[in-house]
Amino acid sequence: MSIEQLAETARAMVAPGKGIIAIDESTSTIAKRFAGVGIDNTEENRRAYRELLLTTPRLSDYISGAILFDETIRQSTRDGVPFAKYMSENGIIPGIKVDKGTHPLAGFPGEVVTEGLDGLRARLEEYARLGARFAKWRAVINIGEDIPSGTCIDANTHALARYAALCQEQGLVPMVEPEVIMDGDHDIDTCYEVTEVTLRSLFASLYEHNVMLEGTILKASMVISGTTCPEQASVEEVAAETLRCLKSTVPATLPGIVFLSGGQSDEAATAHLDAMNQAGPHPWPLSFSYGRAMQQAALKLWAQDMAGNYKKAQETVYARARDNGLAALGQWKQ
């Protein structure tokens, strides 16, 4: 696969007014989401729920791609069409989560490192065969007393760079996700400092590992106040600080940046993205790759009445996609 083909996929992922729906929750993460609304975490319920999301009528009006979990890329619609095939036929680029989750970083209490590099080349080869065109890896950076350490940041960005290089070798666009976690009572300035040093380390590692930025997408966390910080920054401040941080750290050759929602409310996630795009143009398209902020309203409806609310739940997914698609253009109106 040439760099031009990778770049074309990357550009399509952030096409104007479109973003990504993240439905790549691991079996243990979806268990928590299902438990919150009283759904049994069975394989069939997971399949049926992912089918509801992916077969939302006209989803591709505002959604360019979806990130799947290993189990999901092997599953099919109730009519027997493999999800990846259904997506490709309906204008949605199939993506896959390829990391194996976070584990405690030995010697650094409170910090984690993402695992999954062993055997990754063979797994990527298989995912490409199954129809995936991009792959996501999430690193987690926690903020707390005396953390993050430089060692934690470097261990995580080194892994991100190794995975990204392997993705490009196998013809997949890497979606690199260094998530600075919102939990904590830290202020927005602390989040800025941690995000800045993390992104600097990430782009240095990508450079050292010969990763072609033209065929890479950044999935970023916003610069935002910690969840329990007594002083919560305004929408304007979050937008301005996030933009300032990205402009000081992210090369302009990158085809696009998408944000995670990270526990923000649906409305906050949309408002922040909209405010950033209203302040454009920027060096890169800024769009979304939301999980919870795309799904939580629909999941709640489906849990109340799986058959009776099916259509209503899909309409909610479509409405969230439209709002975020408009925010990706700075045209969302509250």
Binding site for ligand 13P (CB under 6 A): 22, 24, 138, 177, 260-262, 290-293
In the complex with ligand 13P, the residue whose CB is nearer, 22 or 328, is 22
CB atoms within 10 A of CB 56: 24
What is the token pair recorded at 280?
């454009």
Number of residue whose CB is nearest ligand 13P: 291
CA distance readout (Å), 307 to 44, 48, 266: 14, 11, 24
CB of 319 to ligand 13P, least distance (A): 17
Residue 177: active-site member: yes
- Of the pair 180, 250, the CB lying nearest ligand 13P is at 180
Contact 130, 55 (CB under 8 A): no
Shortest distance, position 262 Cβ to ligand 13P, whole Å: 4
Neighbours of 137 (CB within 10 A): 26
User: What is the spatial distance between Cα 3 and Cα 5, in angstroms, rounded to a whole number?
Assistant: 5
Please identify which of the residues 111, 177, 179, 241 carries the catalytic annotation. 177
113, 158 contact by CB (below 8 A): no
Question: CB-wise, 249 or 264, nearer to ligand 13P?
Answer: 264
Give, as one character, the DSSP assignment of residue 171. Answer: T
Question: Nearer to ligand 13P by C-beta: 111 or 177?
Answer: 177
Q: Which of 77, 169, 183, 182 is nearest to 127 (CA)?
A: 169
Token pair 């439209």: residue: 322
> Which residue in 219, 231, 237, 312 is the catalytic one?
219
Catalytic residues: 177, 219
